[in-house]
Structure 1
Amino acid sequence: MDLLDKVDDDDRFSLRLILLALPEAEVILDVTDLVSGGWLPDQPLKIASGGMDEMRTVASTHAPTVVLTEGRTDAEFLSAALSVLHPHLTDLIRFLDFDQRNEGGAGALVRLVRAFAAAGIANKVVALFDNDSAASDALRVLNTTTLPPNIRVVRYPDIDLASTYPTLGPPTMEAPRGSLDQANVNGLAGSIELYLGRDVLTLPDGAFRPVQWQSLHKSGYHGVVTDKDQIHELFRAKVDAARRNPSKVAEQDWDGLCRILDKILTAFRSSRG
């Protein structure tokens, strides 16, 4: 045992060496004194699983937080925003590589969260859902209270811009091309595009690119911002400008993305609700 004492202060290493040296032997560890002294729980069967949970917790503090999103552009744009607004955190926050995923959307993200939970991933994981009706419907089947403590589920936040936003309704006899009305689209049409900034969402005439109402979900109508491809191009140009000249950031609108990044950075500060 003198040799084993020199290996490591953790007795589990010594126990592991014994098991490797004598694979057919039955090794019994008497923890009676530890249990009666209050050092271990009174249910010995939980000692091993509790030890594994403790090791995963310790490991997760030294590993980057993994962020799961609904789509490829969500991961791309949030990663870009992080590099512009918080460049010192890029090694601590990693967005899942969508090249390794076959599908996107809220339903697919729910399945991915369940897979991560079942696999016992040690990293801290933030599952980030859109702020729309599709996400609300998908989250109905996910019991977040049963997830491991290293997995948190959050959504894009409500923002003032979306509380009174132009929307394009379905065609009617009076308005064959659809009617344009103001509406609160928080919780109904909050995809990543709505958070990319007023400077990206504004048309040449000064109006915002409207939300187009589409299908009806259990949680309400689902809407998407029009001209997505153009919005994406404008945002990528905005990021390039900020990287070339960091002083440009003060002139650009990053408020929506700041709010999302804050959701990620504070996901583990409070108890899970």
Structure 2
Amino acid sequence: MGHHSFLVVGEGQFLYTRDHYNEELAALFTESDRELVVADADDDSRDDDWDGKEITFGYYSTARALRQRLSMQGFTSHRALTELAEGVERWRKTYDDQSGLREQEARGEQVYQALARPPRGPAELLAAISETIGPHRPQTSFATGREYVSYLMELSETAADVEELRWFVEDRSLVRLLVDQAPDHMRVGLDVSGLTGCCVGLDTDQPIAGPTRERQLAALPDNAPLIVLTEGSTDSRVLTEAMHVTHPHLVDFVRIIDYTGTESKPQGSVGALANMVNAFIAAGVAHRFVAIADNDAGGHAAFAKLKKQKLPAGCRVLHYPDLPLLARYPTFEVASSAVTLTDVNGAAGSLEMYLGRDVLTIDGVLAPVHMGDFIGAVQRRQGALSPSHKVLVLKAFEKKVKAARSGQRDTGDWSGVHAIFEKIVHAFD
């Protein structure tokens, strides 16, 4: 086929790529799947030779391995069949809109029948696809390689149409449809032999699958939303609401993790956040993520060890920023009834303290911070609002959010949460 690479499934060849290899397909393989055979060429095959040698070069595994790898990327049987049905419908409409090409309309149905192998008629399957598709391979697979070869010979009549379907269905979904029917040990691979000859000259010593997978993973953080980890469900909910007001342009670019239904109790949540960061690091999470904790003594103590570690490039651990409001804030010291103005940045900077001077003002005065236990790790006391004042502040903030999102102007002081999101935005600067 000249200077092409292509997918090999048993005896079938699909998904041709000219003068290069399909990187999404290459990334389905590993360097341990690499196969390179260099042999003397027969006289009648000189046209395909390179320096008198016949090169067989590619990456090969099994249908079972490819199914499992595709599942790990989210390309399940359910997804592939759904995309196929939608893609064939778009294909039909494309031809319907073009005069003189309406005879192509039936081809979409034939390809659907060949790829999906529905147990009932294709029209019925299209009408009840959600009923017939399960979490595993829903179609009847072939028990032997010989049966599958016969199927591929039948499918080869629509091979050109399969290529055209690539405009409407993602390649990996088409691969999934092809390997779903194959016996577990059927040989499946990416043949790049055609790229080793003159004009293309692919270096057979150069690895393909490994670096391609690395590039695929490296591109993920560039395209995926930034993940923000917080101390608990309240912080997550409040920050999500605030983002819609102060930074609505970031809503589709930031995902603040939702803890709803996962927290057993709120105590010790900053410690749980530190553990979660370590778990993300140990798991090698590819997404960029930010963990942001309270700007108080407990938060600084819990993150002290993390800050000493060499963190991955895609990870940042932060605290809510210092605020001018908190530099001289009404405070009750331990065992004292006198209110003093104290810098509580780094000592009592829980999220409630960032929700605005307006909501912190109760009965005409700022709700005071109560200083508590001394935390030796950071050499300062932990401070917080009283539980009753926290409830009032959060309720007032919820009303402020509703007012702002309903279009009201001058809804109060948003400087604190604005500063939090600015810190998140510039975390990787």
Q: Name the TM-score, length of structure 1 as normaliser.
A: 0.79
1:151 deviates by 1.4
Cα RMSD (Å): 2.7
Q: In terms of Rg, which structure is larger? A: 2
- Corresponding position of 1:152: 316
Q: Aligned pair 1:179/2:338, yes or no? A: yes
Give the conservation status (yes or no) of the 8 Å contact 2:27–2:213. no
The size of the alignment, in residue pairs, is 244
One-letter amino acid of the counterpart of residue 202, structure 1: T
Give the match for residue 164 of structure 1. 328
**Do the aligned partners of 1:4 and 1:14 also contact (CA within 8 Å) in 2?**
no
- In 2, Cα distance between equivalents of 1:259 and 1:70: 18
Q: Pick one of 210, 225, 233 that aligns with 1:64.
A: 225
After superposition, give the CA deviation of every residue in 1:156-207 in whole Å (9 maximum; x if it has no partner).
1011000010101222xxx5xx2211110000000001100000011223x2
The 1:198–1:143 alpha-carbon spacing in structure 2 relative to 1, beyond 3 Å, is closer
- Cα distance, 1:217 vs structure 2: 0.8
1:213 aligns with 2:371: yes
Query: Contact 2:290–2:315 at 8 Å: present in 1 too?
Result: yes
The answer to whether the Cα contact below 8 Å between 1:170 and 1:179 also exists between their aligned partners in 2 is: no
Amino acid at match of 2:310: T
Give the unaligned 5+ runs of structure 2: 8-15, 34-58, 63-185, 189-201
Equivalent position of 2:256 in the other structure = 95
SS in 1 for 2:321: coil
Q: Return the offset for 1:141.
A: 2.0
Q: Distance in 1 between matches of 2:419 and 2:327?
A: 15
- How do 1:1-273 residues align onto structure 2 when only pairs under 5 Å count? 2-4=4-6, 6-7=16-17, 8-10=21-23, 12-13=26-27, 17-20=59-62, 22=187, 48=210, 52-102=213-263, 104=266, 105-143=269-307, 145-171=309-335, 178-205=337-364, 207-218=365-376, 219=378, 220-226=380-386, 227-249=389-411, 252-269=412-429
Identity %: 34
Task: State whether residues 229 and 291 of structure 2, in contact with CA within 8 Å, keep that contact through their aligned partners in structure 1.
Answer: yes
Counterpart Cα distance in 1 of 2:203 and 2:282 = 30
Superposed CA offset, 1:5-43 (max 9, x none) = 8253438359665233658xxxxxx989659xxxx9xxx
Per-residue deviation, residues 131-163 of structure 1 (Å, max 9, x unmatched) = 011011111222564322111111110110000
Query: Which sits farther off after the overlay, 112-121 or 53-62?
Result: 53-62
Change beyond 3 A, Cα 1:143–1:181? closer
1:183 alignment partner AA: T
Report if aligned partners of 1:241, 1:248 keep a CA contact under 8 Å in 2: no
In structure 2, what residue type is equivalent to 1:224?
A: A
Q: Residues 223 and 31 (structure 1 numbering): CA distance in 2 closer, same or farther, change over 3 Å? A: farther
In structure 1, give the amino acid aligned to 2:399: A
Measure, in 1, the Cα distance between the counterparts of 2:5 and 2:203.
22
Distance in structure 1 (CA, Å) of the matches to 2:242 and 2:214: 33
Shift of 1:63: 1.2
Instruction: Determine the structure 1 residue equivalent to 2:131.
Output: none
Residues 157-166 or 119-128, more deviating: 119-128
Distance 1:31 1:53 in 2: 19
SS at match of 1:4: strand
